[in-house]
Amino acid sequence: MIAGRNEVGQSLAHIEEVTAALHGQYRAVLRIRKPDKPPPPIYSISRGVGVHVFSAMPVIVGNRVAAVIYTSRTPSNIFDNLYQERIKFILAGLTVIVATIVIGLVFSRTITRPMRELVDRAARIGRGDRARSSLSLITAPASLPNCRTAFSASRSNCRGDRTTSRPSRPTRLTN
């Protein structure tokens, strides 16, 4: 061992991943960490991670293992990473909310509002209001104007008005 903390000058050949590297194979392991400091408070966003990643890589010179590079690293804390990326999460959430609002407004304008207007007119006819009024289905899907025509014919039949033009054959609904 030529660099490190307490291991300088010692042999690490007894460690599993170092032994594999001495035979020419790269090896990495994950081990439970033995803390050298007291754990941070439970409410701390940067709580310590309880594992270490150890890796050993052989250095091969002339088809022989000349040395082993042995490293250890504590992985990043997932909560710390989430906290660091919080702006991206907030932007993603806002994007989903805005998209939902836009889709809802489009749905309301093109489908729900014309249907509500049709139901309202039917209710007025049911109460006896036979005044002629047209449904404004400018933004409605293609099937709603067919529904309007059938509704107008129904209103005319309720009044007994046979002069209003009705479709000569049933109207086929289209999408």
Encode pLDDT of 31-85 as tens digits: 877 766 666 665 555 555 677 888 999 999 998 998 899 888 877 777 777 888 9
Q: Which position has the higher pLDDT, 138 or 96?
A: 96
Task: Identify the bridge partners of residue 31 per DSSP, sorted by sequence position.
Answer: 52
pLDDT at 105 over 70: yes
Lookup: tokens for 144: 């709603």
pLDDT at 3 over 80: no
pLDDT of residue 52: 80
The C-alpha atoms of residue 114 and residue 5 are separated, in whole angstroms, by 76
Contact yes or no for 173/146 (Cβ under 8 A) = yes
Provide the whole-model pTM: 0.41
Please state the separation of Cα 164 from the chain's center in Å.
54
pLDDT of residue 114: 75
The C-alpha atoms of residue 16 and residue 11 are separated, in whole angstroms, by 13
Q: What angle do CA 138, 139, 144 make, to 5 degrees?
A: 80
pLDDT band at 108 (very low <50, low <70, confident <90, very high): confident
pLDDT digits (tens, 9 = 90+) for 114-168: 777 777 877 777 777 766 655 554 555 666 666 667 767 766 666 555 444 445 5
Mean pLDDT to the nearest integer, 9-25: 87
